[in-house]
Amino acid sequence: MDSKISPRIGMPLPRVTCADGFSMSIQVGTGIYSELRKTSKKYSKVEIGFPSEHESLIESYAEGHGFEDDIDYTRTVYPYVPVGIIDKVLRKHGGIVT
């Protein structure tokens, strides 16, 4: 994933789909669980939402992780996920196709 994502103000970014069919929402911007690097306009952490299947690489970032026993990992948000982790998820699933 390119960490130089430019959010469209007030517009959600399109859902990302990988080569193996895995998909998820990746969002950045004001009011979103994302974080700009202090020295640039690149995002270091982004918000993930509603992956198409449970993904162990992002599990620990899920809202409620560690507090709830029955999280549906496909119906939750993953705040402040480091861009490096997102890169690993995308590579694991064959890269972005749309």
Ramachandran angles phi, psi of 46, nearest 5°: -135, 165
Domain boundaries, the chain: 23-92
**Which of helix, strand or coil describes residue 24?**
strand
Of 6-10, 56-60, 93-97, which gets the smallest average pLDDT?
6-10
How many angstroms separate the CA atoms of 17 and 55, rounded?
A: 14
Per-residue pLDDT of 29-87, as tens digits, reads 878 888 887 667 788 999 999 999 999 999 999 998 878 778 999 999 999 999 999 99
Q: Write the CA distances from 26 to 8, 14, 58, 67, 70, integer angstroms.
A: 13, 8, 12, 24, 23
- The pairing of strands 43-49 and 77-82 is antiparallel
How many angstroms separate the CA atoms of 83 and 42, rounded?
A: 10
